[in-house]
């Protein structure tokens, strides 16, 4: 195992990958099967480290968030993102056949942490902007429901009709907005990978990720979300086995979480791979 690498050494050697300009111009006929196969090849070589780091990641997240105000802000704006990119850093080392160790998961603290924080601030700003119509919609709906306030003498059926129509409208709004946010999230599929391995700036990585994934690559993140949904019956079945089932369920969840992240790295690696 080699020592922790500098970020200048991360990513494939110059000339062995396609440029962003080339990817945007020519695209890539990447198959889901190829992405999953590559992800499994990466994951199987370091599955123990991935699971271990996922547990450490979860514990650090839990402890930090429990600290009132300051802990949550520190986690959202700094600790969470910098820890998260560790999955991509180790995946890159494994994919390139380089030496790696558990310490490489924390390489985000050594370099580019400032760029990651700026990128996170921009992302949070975009999320707030995108969620603002959602808050306005729900605020107006709940205000209408509050105004109903059934009083004796009013038509009870009319009250319920108005109430359920408001709730129905809010549910429809939630579903539409969820699909919209899902699509927006899929556009950020390559954000951190571009930031780490293509030396893009905080804003450039977001824009470039959206340009590359728009329409052509939307099916990949959606496929991973479907993978999570399909895992629910398995999780429910394991929960029936008591403590043993809960332990297996937790390990399965850690595996699925980390494997999903490795999948997003494999998509990046294959998209930028030289033909």
3-state SS, residue 152? coil
Which structure tokens are listed for 12? 């494939």
Q: Map out the domains of the chain as residue ranges.
A: 7-13+30-271
Rg (CA), the chain: 22
pLDDT tens across the length of the chain (275 residues)? 333 334 344 444 444 678 888 888 887 777 778 888 999 999 999 999 999 999 999 999 999 989 888 888 899 999 999 999 999 999 999 999 999 999 999 999 987 899 999 999 999 998 888 777 777 766 666 666 556 554 555 555 555 555 566 555 566 666 666 667 667 777 788 999 999 999 999 999 999 998 888 755 555 555 556 665 666 666 666 666 667 766 777 777 788 889 989 988 998 998 888 66
Which structure tokens are listed for 70? 């300051």
What whole-number distance in Å separates Cα of residue 172 and Cα of residue 141?
Answer: 12
Which structure tokens are listed for 188? 């950020």
**How many residues make up the chain in this entry?**
275
């Amino acid at each position: 195992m080699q020592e922790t690498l500098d970020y200048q050494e991360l990513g494939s050697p110059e000339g062995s990958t396609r440029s962003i300009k080339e990817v945007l111009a020519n695209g890539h006929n990447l198959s889901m099967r190829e992405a999953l196969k590559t992800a499994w090849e990466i994951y199987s070589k370091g599955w123990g480290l991935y699971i271990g780091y996922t547990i450490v990641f979860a514990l650090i997240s839990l402890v930090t968030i429990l600290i009132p105000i300051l802990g949550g802000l520190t986690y959202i704006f700094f600790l969470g993102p910098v820890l998260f990119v560790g999955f991509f850093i180790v995946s890159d080392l494994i994919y390139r056949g380089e030496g790696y160790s558990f310490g490489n998961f924390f390489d985000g603290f050594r370099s580019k942490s400032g760029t990651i924080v700026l990128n996170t601030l921009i992302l949070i700003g975009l999320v707030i902007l995108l969620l603002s119509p959602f808050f306005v919609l729900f605020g107006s709906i709940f205000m209408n429901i509050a105004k109903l306030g059934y009083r004796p003498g009013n038509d009870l059926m009319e009250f319920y009709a108005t109430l359920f129509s408001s709730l129905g409208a809010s549910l429809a709004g939630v579903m539409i907005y969820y699909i919209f946010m899902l699509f927006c999230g899929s556009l950020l599929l390559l954000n951190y990978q571009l930031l780490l391995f293509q030396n893009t700036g905080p804003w450039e990585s977001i824009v470039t990720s959206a340009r590359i994934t728009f329409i052509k690559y939307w099916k990949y993140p959606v496929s991973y979300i479907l993978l999570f949904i399909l895992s629910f019956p398995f999780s429910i079945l394991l929960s029936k086995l008591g403590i043993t089932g809960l332990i297996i369920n937790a390990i399965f969840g850690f595996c699925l979480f980390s494997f999903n992240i490795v999948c997003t790295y494999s998509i990046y690696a294959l998209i930028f791979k030289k033909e």
